[in-house]
Structure 1
């Protein structure tokens, strides 16, 4: 009884994995056309920075130089201990559309990015808000234009793509693959009508959506989640759109070591415990079924005819390479597809290690 159960379980989890990737094909189809209006909606670009003096000097000019007729830049200094405020002030002297919010530590919100962001959002002049990070830069001078064109009467939350800079290192390959796979999932879920997360380095929404859910109040004590937990509260199939136009992307400096990346992902993954139950179930099933697919599949190779097990693996990889391969072209990460099997196994082990570590202790501060 054990051997047949083992095989049938393997077949079931293989079917679950293939079904997930077939659902991810929703990303491959075009979204509804963007607004063709020549009127540029006023936009407040919001950048929250904590000890980011060097990054602001390097990347803020790319935001300032955007080809957009009506936008302001709200710079939030989140109790920095370096020269972040001085750098902000030097840019403000040269550019009238820059506004600075200088946030001091408050005992009740010590080290809490959401508190600083809330002050910046309240100070923003315009209804339409566009968020990025101090260590990010738009890939083009049309970033604001391409992101804001997705706004409409129905669509008030826009999910963008935040790339990482390509480097010739193993950790960089894993970082870019994980970022790509995460984007495939949250873009696909959004197109299927169940948005569950976003990345704060490229996210836009209307100020009214923020106040409609009382901002970050439901999870203000959770140090991370100013992007995905907000989406959990505010986003739905009617009000959320995605932007996969290449000129709407941002690009960031990636973690340079596995230790640095591990620390970053611990903070990000810890917020998943606060997702809605259906999102936890769907994401958990994808991860668990993938673990079982590989572990049971390897075991079945020793117990069943190689042709049968090999055929199931072949079908899985045909579907996966097709979906991920096309996604790499859309999201401008073509090199990743050549290392897919290796990256997939490595990422599973990496995520499993993070889950164990987060189970033992929780990360506390956003920086």
Structure 2
């Protein structure tokens, strides 16, 4: 039995090493193209830069829109508009958009007055936005986000304009706050970014985050938009990208100027609701994506679970003075060595990625993040299996 446990442990740790060394390392050592903003500015001088529509879907976001819209209006780009989709707001958002944005030359809005049964509210708002967009490329964000710089727009769309890609995946870090919840949010956000950015660079893109995502409207309409998942709450970003992204049409944008900072949830209840929406859409991913993510996450959880079990086995052997056989010793030492190597490579490579992605998690506590995520993914997996259908979820 001990030999079987050790062999399985070696196998799952080896799977982890493959992902770390051959997938995650792509983001860790990715060279940001020099044309991230310079190429766009060069195209602007020659008059060949495409116009961009920034889309913000908002419901009761008066305070956030008051702060965000001037920042978007001030983006350093020659031809763009900011299209705000006011989805049935009752907090004064409509009055703000009607009366107080006249001095913001790039901002306009569309009011949505009712909900439609055949489609979730946010997907309906986004669909209308893309139909009414003035320009052929849309850049999506949320009302509670803030761009890292005035070059956010030009940097995010640079791959679409200079390299003729159809999708640009960006990164959206959360603000640093004290407490375990904020640390967990930042850890999960970092590791999710490690996965979707690295797999995109490996030619297997599977998702993006709607807080910082650009694509061509032609791609949206050529694939019938959200038609296959109109009634699924969530998925306006990751399910759509999961359907249409390929290794050839997708690029990533991780220059610090292209980050879109977001406000984190401040209560465990709000965060759990957000996670339920995210986990709810995972079952609709393509089979290949589900297999890779299951292998990646499962091996992460089992790496630490088997380490704990084998540690207990060693203690039991010592307590009852039961010596290991030669084969057991060989496997035990091999497993411990590979496990230690996996810990160090995860620490180094994920730490480097974190450094590149706005120092989301301090490098010194990456090992703690490693263990915390294994616990979190294990519990989330159990909750997903046993969760029963409850009340309807809403995007806001």
When normalised by structure 1's length, the TM-score is 0.94
**For residues 118 and 106 of structure 1, do their structure 2 counterparts lie closer, same or farther at Cα, with a shift above 3 Å needed?**
same
Q: Do the aligned residues in 1 keep the contact of 2:10 with 2:335 (CA within 8 Å)?
A: no
Aligned equivalent of 1:366: 395
Q: Do the aligned residues in 2 keep the contact of 1:160 with 1:249 (CA within 8 Å)?
A: yes
Pairing partner for 1:38 from 33, 40, 43: 43
Aligned equivalent of 1:324: 350
Gaps of 5+ in 2: 315-328
The offset of 1:105, in angstroms, is 1.9
Runs of 4+ with deviation above 6 angstroms? none
Aligned equivalent of 1:120: 129
Pairing partner for 1:312 from 338, 345, 357: 338
Q: Do the aligned residues in 2 keep the contact of 1:78 with 1:104 (CA within 8 Å)?
A: yes
Q: Do the aligned residues in 1 keep the contact of 2:9 with 2:335 (CA within 8 Å)?
A: no
Deviates more, 1:218-227 or 1:150-159: 150-159
Pairing partner for 1:104 from 113, 116, 120: 113
Q: Do the aligned residues in 1 keep the contact of 2:200 with 2:206 (CA within 8 Å)?
A: yes
Pairing 1:350–2:351 present: no
For the pair shown, which has the larger CA radius of gyration, 1 or 2? 2
The offset of 1:309, in angstroms, is 4.6
Pairing partner for 1:294 from 301, 304, 308: 304
Aligned equivalent of 1:333: 359
Q: CA separation in 2, counterparts of 1:201 and 1:239?
A: 20
Aligned equivalent of 1:25: 25
The offset of 1:308, in angstroms, is 4.8
CA offsets per residue over residues 311-348 of structure 1, 9 Å max, x none?
A: 23311111101110110111121643222232233233
The offset of 1:31, in angstroms, is 5.2
Match of 1:130, SS state, is strand
Deviates more, 1:178-187 or 1:309-318: 309-318
The offset of 1:222, in angstroms, is 0.5
Q: CA separation in 1, counterparts of 2:364 and 2:244?
A: 37
The offset of 1:10, in angstroms, is 0.4
Q: CA separation in 2, counterparts of 1:64 and 1:187?
A: 28
Pairing 1:16–2:15 present: yes
Q: Do the aligned residues in 1 keep the contact of 2:65 with 2:143 (CA within 8 Å)?
A: yes
Q: CA separation in 2, counterparts of 1:262 and 1:319?
A: 31
Q: CA separation in 2, counterparts of 1:127 and 1:203?
A: 14
Q: CA separation in 2, counterparts of 1:191 and 1:110?
A: 32
**For residues 91 and 323 of structure 1, do their structure 2 counterparts lie closer, same or farther at Cα, with a shift above 3 Å needed?**
farther
Pairing partner for 2:177 from 146, 167, 173: 167
The offset of 1:67, in angstroms, is 1.7
Q: CA separation in 2, counterparts of 1:202 and 1:208?
A: 19
CA offsets per residue over residues 39-91 of structure 1, 9 Å max, x none?
A: 24311100000111111112222111212221101000111222122222234
Q: CA separation in 1, counterparts of 2:115 and 2:180?
A: 40
Q: CA separation in 1, counterparts of 2:106 and 2:118?
A: 29
Match of 1:366, SS state, is coil
Pairing 1:198–2:224 present: no
CA offsets per residue over residues 107-151 of structure 1, 9 Å max, x none?
A: 414752101111111111000111100000101011111112111
Q: Do the aligned residues in 1 keep the contact of 2:55 with 2:82 (CA within 8 Å)?
A: yes
What is the aligned residue count? Answer: 366
Q: CA separation in 2, counterparts of 1:177 and 1:311?
A: 26
Q: CA separation in 1, counterparts of 2:281 and 2:137?
A: 26
Q: CA separation in 2, counterparts of 1:340 and 1:115?
A: 40
Q: Do the aligned residues in 2 keep the contact of 1:72 with 1:98 (CA within 8 Å)?
A: yes
Q: Do the aligned residues in 1 keep the contact of 2:304 with 2:374 (CA within 8 Å)?
A: no
Q: Equivalent residues in 2 for 1:36-115 (5 A)?
A: 36=39, 37-39=42-44, 40-109=49-118, 112-115=121-124
Q: Do the aligned residues in 1 keep the contact of 2:119 with 2:230 (CA within 8 Å)?
A: no
The offset of 1:276, in angstroms, is 0.3
Pairing partner for 2:222 from 196, 212, 226: 212
The offset of 1:266, in angstroms, is 1.2
Pairing partner for 2:143 from 115, 124, 134: 134
Gaps of 5+ in 1: none
